[in-house]
Amino acid sequence: MSGQEIFVIIIVALLLFGAEKLPDIAKTIGKGMRDFKKATDEIRRELETSTQDIRNDLNDVTDSIKRDVTDLSNKITKDANEVSDSIKNDMNDVTSDIRQDMNQVSETVKKDTEEVNENINKNIS
């Protein structure tokens, strides 16, 4: 509002209520505005106080869930690593056994081949 508008409002108020009633009206309006602001501040404080408990509870639940998920994830990772290590060990054992068997078969085939060669050479001679 500009200064002229305020001046016009004051003149209208003087004409309607008179000079004697104007200070009382201003006091009443000021007191009403002060009470309204006080009530607004109290409501704001009450809302913040009541929601603080809810926010704390939500933070506690969130932290608890995060801890549980982290613990579960660590357990799953540990179990997966154990299974993976077990499979690797089993594969190494199987591979070793197969190599031994192959070496034995190879030696047997080699001996048999030598025997056959010797027999062929004996029969030819």
| Whether 111 contacts 118, CB under 8 Å | no
Q: What is the number of other CB atoms lying within 10 angstroms of the CB of residue 85?
A: 10
Angle 3-17/22-124 helices, nearest 10 degrees?
130
| Whether 13 contacts 22, CB under 8 Å | yes
Q: 13-22 burial string, b = 16+ CB within 10 Å, else e?
A: eeeeeeeeee
Amino acid at 5: E
Q: Could you identify the residue written with the tokens 């608890």?
A: 64
Each residue's pLDDT, cut to its tens digit, for the chain (125 residues) gives: 677 887 788 788 777 777 788 788 888 888 989 999 999 999 999 888 888 888 999 999 999 999 999 999 999 999 999 999 999 999 999 999 999 999 999 999 999 898 888 888 887 76
| Whether 56 contacts 48, CB under 8 Å | no
- The whole model's pTM is what? 0.47
Total number of domains constituting the chain:
1
Domain extent for 92: 3-124
